[in-house]
Structure 1
Amino acid sequence: MTHRVEIDIGGRPLILETGQLAQQANGSAYVRFGDTVVLVTACAQTEPREGLDFFPLTCDYREYQYAAGRIPGGFFKREGRPSEKEIVTSRLIDRPLRPLFRDGFRNETQVIALVLSADADNDPDVLSVVGASAALSWSDIPFERTVAAVRVGLVDGRLVANPTYEEQKVSLLNIVVAGTSEAIVMVEAGAREVAEETIVDALQFGYEQIRKIIAGIQQIREQLKAQKWPVTPPSVDQELYRQIESQYRERLTETSNTEVHKKKESYRLVEALKKELVASIPEEQEERRQEAARYFEMLREALFREQVLKQRRRPDGRAFDQVRPITCAVGLLPRVHGSALFTRGETQALVTVTLGTKEDVQRLDMLAEEDAKKRFMLHYNFPPFSVGEVKFLRGPGRREIGHGALAERALSALMPDGEGFPYTVRVVSDILESNGSSSMATVCGGSLALMDAGVPMGAAVGGVAMGLVVGENGERAILTDIAGAEDHYGDMDFKVAGTRRGITALQMDIKTTGIAPALMAEALAQAKKGRLEILDRMEATLATPRAALSPYAPRIFTLTIPKDKIGELIGPGGKMIRSIIEATGVKIDVMDDGKVHVFAVDEPSAAKAMQMIQDVTATAEVGKVYLGKVVRLVDFGAFVEIFPGTDGLLHISEIAEQRIRDVRDELKEGDQVMVKVLSVEGNKIRLSRKAVLREQREKQRRTTS
């Protein structure tokens, strides 16, 4: 039996269905908005995985090219490894779901979202979050609370729910909000320097749409009456816990104090205490050893929360709104186009910028746009040495791609357009040291490196990670610039990036059941104070973009040619433009409006290429004299090339002042001759050597007299 519900979102129907597709999954949801359709399934193993201290949830989002009526490229003609968009969307689905499963559930669970149909208007990412929540809610998997998501845009001064792709292009805000019927659990946003008050309004607007979607999901849930699997929360042996607390409380408090010990030293001391505890239990009591290790971690968290909420003190001694010490440096690497080193506490990012040509753009195979190109990209690397570990170096993982996407979004709002700065720009952030907030260090370092490279950014961009600790009795603490332990044991990770004028990127994840918009407004206000302080430090190092590019960066020279000459410049099969590139070593980009960009590493190469372009595309002017080359002789005259690829007819009567019987008596192929343009009719050019000779003789006569 099929169950269906329609929900009005922004004046358009959001359709949710179940009961027809993927019936062997624990739960499935068919989601349609416009002509975009997503199928989301949820499956879980019936038995928990032994020995896990975390919930093994996997979320996968895939876009099929057939959804947009296309066949994949490449040799195999089928979808390959997931794209960056698919990975980022997989994370978008995972983040609001994970905190809402029942405590103690350790069964391997997988959510798969498949895009089955894609129109040119509606993004399937938020539909996938809605579908994932619906599939889990309608299943027997112990998913605790129903969640929903909506995208909010700011178009022409009004907030829009689930804006189309075209509306997103002009929107000042692109924010995805996810929440339960009680509170917001996730935020992901990009913005064009939007004020904090506008962000809060958008969150409230989105929250209203979320509650409507949740009501629709719950309507079908009540019809299905699915019985959730029972989950037994992990029990606590209070006597053993009290023993561990009595024995290790004082020492654990001292070793966790990062005001005294650096992160690595503190971690080593804490691990030594943990090993001491485990070693005190006989080897044959393996379960009790594991239990003791779990209680040790519980005690660490309890001590952290007690310190923050009751003692009102952070592990490193900072005030709640205090930023760690910051140092900045630019221009460190001699041959790169731009570089910066940003250090905040024990987090350090080395960020570099490379300027390329339009040939270096990233070509994307997207459902929304068939021939999409990306001219600004940011890549984030997190090598194991940044946290003192030994691991294999592999390709970027989901976390690295997600952090890079966040930093890229934060900086892209201030990047110049392709008309004013026709470079492809690649930013690479290598995290050299990490103790929290490395993605925001990437934003800060990226902004400095771009300015060091001479990229004309609109303003400097800074970022800060905020934290939240909430007590059982409602007491709370908002923390600015959280370190690793505060991120691990806290209840919220809220990253805010922006300029002095406003916010350019947001990302919030919550580990509790949610956060009210009013509390987010308070966190945003505290984040602004921290962001402005960080910008002060950055601008003291480099306040504006450098006036000149690096001497090793490609130079761009622009000239304009007649539109009807574009074909001549390119030549048959690209022959002409290739010959110029090979002769000069430059790169050439020809625009449809006749603008030609020449990319060169030095001015002489560019000058030579531009002269060759002008020669190829020049137009013969009547009355002007040119130095031409005889390319062909005929009985009635000669054809003379006055520009590369442009010939004119030098009639036999115009070769000499006297009458000649045979052209070959005066000229031979390869001769260089001065000729004057008599007339231009379409592609036909009439030339005269006789007129030039007569003018030369007359000039000589006037000189001698």
Structure 2
Amino acid sequence: MNVIELELQNLREKYTLEYVAKQSSGALLYQSGGTVILASVSVDEKIVEEDFLPLTVQYIEKSYSIGKFPGGFIKREGKPGEFETLTSRIIDRTLRPIFPKGYSYPTQITLMVLSYDKQSDLQVCALNAAANALYISSLPFYHPISAVRIGMIEKQFIINPTMQELQNSTLDLYVSGSNDQLLMIEMRSLSKDSETNEISEEKLLEALMLAKNSILNSCIQYQNAFDTHKKDALNLLLKSDKNNSEIYQYIKDNYSLEIQNAIVEMAKSERTAGLKNISLKIAESKDWEIADIVAVLKNYKKEIIRNQILDKKIRCDGRGYEDIRPIEIQTNILPFAHGSALFTRGQTQALVVSTIGSDSDAQTQEMLSDKLPNKEKFMFHYNFPGFSVGEASIISSPGRRELGHGNLAKRALESNILDHSKTIRLVSEILESNGSSSMASVCGGSLALLASGIEIGSLVAGVAMGLVIEGDKYAILTDINGLEDQDGDMDFKIAGSKNGITAMQMDIKMGGISHIILQEALYQAKNARKRILDIMEEAKEKIILNTDILPSLEIFSVQPNKIVEIIGQGGKVIRDIIERFGVSIDLDRENGEVKISGNDKNNVSGAKDFILNLTQGQKIDLSQYEIGLIFEGEVKKILDFGAFISLPKGGDGLLHVTKITKNRDESIQSYISEGDKIKCQILGLSKGKIELDLIKN
């Protein structure tokens, strides 16, 4: 066995070649510390007819890598978790633009985490492993690629922080690139000590320059290490550009005006019916293959759009470079949802709905880095039904795109949430889409939080930036539509408040972006964000809370040794409280914290009073009372199910609603009010409680 071991000391990485998965087109065993990843590349040498890159990336975490069994009933790895899906997407988004133009062979990149030391950054490790497996493979791939994560602790940048260091960081910046070209960026600000921590454009540019230098250094080392170990190249022919000159000239001479009109329509909708009709017309009159017509038509359309932007400085929908489409906002349009916001920007519309819950509603997640499953108390779910772009398709489970957009919106908003006591679920339903639906979700999500009574540091808005570049000429576009995303060179999503950036995501389609263009895009986005936030501030002032249905939450502490009294023998006491008051109760045995939540504020308050009476030495001495005793007591508190009446020798007794009203639909307040003196009789004594009857005059 001719095993090759390459240890890159400066990068703390070890690569073993010609050792495992040798029948694949390229494979290696990657090791950093105690983390081991198998990376393999396989290719089907039968070219696909469609005009796209059939690349699939699968990142898979094995439970045995940290010596544990898979969670759930079936003890076997199954459907990928959200972190696995998002990591696969990060790798795909980095590597896809580097493949040579015309490459259309089904290609599978597989990453398997075989061992994990709970210190290494799995997303950095996985991308480096995948990129270098591709680099040494028999595919026509000659670009060294590297990833780096930048953290910031006490205003100092840290390159590739450990997972523990990242917990104390106020910045999470993940960057991948090739040599001195940046390919993909993902960034989020991290809140610490209940404070928001937006990052300024200046500071972010400084961090990106640090990341760029680190990537360049790594790529040089990779190239030196792997150049002599690349496999012999497969004989893979690349597709030539289907730009038939005869068809092109015919379209230009006869259909320019119709294509211009179709482009205007496409700028208003992501549907391509106009171009489809043109291609069918041409096919009826000419003896050309429909596939060739469609390909040339697509290239001609792209050429018109890009030339118009660069030469005439006008976008396909008539806007200037920095113009934002008209924005309309409505809040709490759903009467029985906790909070909602309908955010419309041009032909993109997001309905974002907020639901507030307790600890028991949190999402349980299993991560390799965690000993026990953790509770996720802020969730953002993004849905993209086919009707949003006029497609007749069924609604199915979310794919990688939906998970990615939801994750971006979540990262944009979570650092600005100040109220961490509640579990929050935001759902963005995309009702219409023509570009930047994820950023519409951010804007709508920020308002939906406020509309459900959640305290936030400041409003957060998002905007998608685009780029068209030809030689020395370039144009940065604000608030891109679907057509500009499709035919442009960059999709750059930036979210933040007036204080700075909270999250961003950048994908480059042409193999890198200069620092100057990146800087211009950031400041242009800042101006756009401020204009959007001004409109959102106006909508914020008009929010009317659905107070009648908003859940109430009380958090207080008792002596930790009193928790057992709240629970009672076999859980009888806590079950009785939950049933009587209609609330949810979460108890922390270690610090004595009690959380009570429910849809009725009075019931939540009543449950709190009951527990405090139970735990603060105000227990009723039942031996001092007897059934049948008549007394006059004060009405202390009125709830839906009855009233608490003060007893002559301390404590309160319960006068049930059925003893007060003629039927349960009547209001108790029609008969008695808090502070009234009423005559009662003791009906029963049990479990430290006294049940009363009303003596009517």
Q: TM tier, shorter chain? A: 0.7 to 0.9
CA distance in 1, matches of 2:497, 2:64: 41
Counterpart for residue 47 of structure 1: 46
Instruction: Please tell me whether residue 114 in structure 1 is matched to residue 116 in structure 2.
Output: no
Alpha-carbon displacement from aligned partner over 1:183-224 (angstroms, at most 9, x marks no partner): 101111111310011111111111112122222322333221
CA distance in 2, matches of 1:74, 1:309: 55
1:242 is displaced (CA, Å) by: 2.2
Counterpart for residue 675 of structure 2: none
Instruction: Please tell me whether residue 351 in structure 1 is matched to residue 343 in structure 2.
Output: no
Instruction: Please tell me whether residue 232 in structure 1 is matched to residue 238 in structure 2.
Output: yes
Alpha-carbon displacement from aligned partner over 1:55-80 (angstroms, at most 9, x marks no partner): 10001111111112211122211122
Alignment equivalent of 2:264, drawn from 257, 260, 268: 257
Q: May I ask how many residue pairs the two structures share in their alignment?
A: 623
Would you say the 8 A contact 2:19–2:28 is kept in 1? no
Alpha-carbon displacement from aligned partner over 1:250-270 (angstroms, at most 9, x marks no partner): 3212331259x8436x83332
Which letter maps to 2:369?
A
Would you say the 8 A contact 1:628–1:642 is kept in 2? no
Report the secondary structure of 1:193's partner residue: coil
Q: 1:642–1:165: structure 2 CA closer, same or farther, 3 Å change rule?
A: farther
Counterpart for residue 23 of structure 1: 22
Counterpart for residue 242 of structure 1: 249
1:415 is displaced (CA, Å) by: 1.0
Alpha-carbon displacement from aligned partner over 1:512-563 (angstroms, at most 9, x marks no partner): 01102222111101010111111011111105987x6632122112332112
1:211-230 pair list within 5 angstroms = 211-229=216-234, 230=236
1:144 is displaced (CA, Å) by: 4.2
Deviation >6 Å, runs of 4+: 641-644
Counterpart for residue 683 of structure 1: none
Would you say the 8 A contact 1:2–1:17 is kept in 2? yes
Fraction of identical pairs, as percent = 38
Would you say the 8 A contact 1:338–1:550 is kept in 2? no
1:613 is displaced (CA, Å) by: 1.8
1:509 is displaced (CA, Å) by: 0.5
Instruction: Please tell me whether residue 163 in structure 1 is matched to residue 161 in structure 2.
Output: yes
1:89 is displaced (CA, Å) by: 0.7
Report the secondary structure of 2:198's partner residue: strand
Which letter maps to 1:385?
F
Which letter maps to 1:298?
N
Which letter maps to 1:386?
S
CA distance in 2, matches of 1:671, 1:404: 54
Counterpart for residue 557 of structure 1: 554
Would you say the 8 A contact 1:186–1:508 is kept in 2? yes
Which letter maps to 1:86?
E
Report the secondary structure of 1:519's partner residue: helix
Would you say the 8 A contact 2:622–2:685 is kept in 1? no
CA distance in 2, matches of 1:485, 1:92: 23
CA distance in 2, matches of 1:291, 1:26: 32
Report the secondary structure of 2:427's partner residue: strand
CA distance in 2, matches of 1:614, 1:256: 68
Alignment equivalent of 1:279, drawn from 270, 284, 295: 284
CA distance in 2, matches of 1:617, 1:142: 72
CA distance in 2, matches of 1:417, 1:22: 50
Which letter maps to 2:56?
T
Alignment equivalent of 2:574, drawn from 573, 577, 580: 577
1:143 is displaced (CA, Å) by: 2.1
Alpha-carbon displacement from aligned partner over 1:659-681 (angstroms, at most 9, x marks no partner): xxxxxxxxxxx879x9xxxxxxx
Counterpart for residue 481 of structure 1: 479
1:364-375 pair list within 5 angstroms = 364-369=365-370, 370-375=372-377
Counterpart for residue 340 of structure 2: 339
1:131-210 pair list within 5 angstroms = 131-191=129-189, 192-210=197-215
1:168 is displaced (CA, Å) by: 1.4
Q: TM-score, normalised by structure 1?
A: 0.84
Which letter maps to 1:456?
E
1:279 is displaced (CA, Å) by: 2.5
CA distance in 2, matches of 1:78, 1:629: 61
Which letter maps to 2:250?
Q
Counterpart for residue 321 of structure 1: 322
Q: For structure 1, list consecutive stretches of 5 or more residues without a partner in the other structure.
A: 632-640, 645-669, 675-705
CA distance in 1, matches of 2:483, 2:685: 82
Alpha-carbon displacement from aligned partner over 1:563-620 (angstroms, at most 9, x marks no partner): 2111222234433322321232211111232221111222342244234323432337
* Worse-superposed segment, 21-30 or 292-301: 21-30
Q: 1:544–1:213: structure 2 CA closer, same or farther, 3 Å change rule?
A: farther
1:84 is displaced (CA, Å) by: 0.9
Coordinate RMSD, CA, aligned: 2.5
Q: 1:127–1:315: structure 2 CA closer, same or farther, 3 Å change rule?
A: same
CA distance in 2, matches of 1:135, 1:237: 37
Would you say the 8 A contact 1:37–1:124 is kept in 2? no
Alignment equivalent of 1:409, drawn from 408, 411, 416: 411
Counterpart for residue 427 of structure 1: 426
Q: TM-score, normalised by structure 2?
A: 0.85
CA distance in 2, matches of 1:405, 1:232: 35
Counterpart for residue 599 of structure 1: 597
Which letter maps to 1:240?
I
Would you say the 8 A contact 1:95–1:186 is kept in 2? yes
Q: For structure 2, list consecutive stretches of 5 or more residues without a partner in the other structure.
A: 190-196, 627-648, 653-683, 689-697
Q: 1:294–1:630: structure 2 CA closer, same or farther, 3 Å change rule?
A: same
Larger radius of gyration: 1
Would you say the 8 A contact 1:178–1:184 is kept in 2? yes
CA distance in 2, matches of 1:585, 1:245: 71
1:148 is displaced (CA, Å) by: 1.3
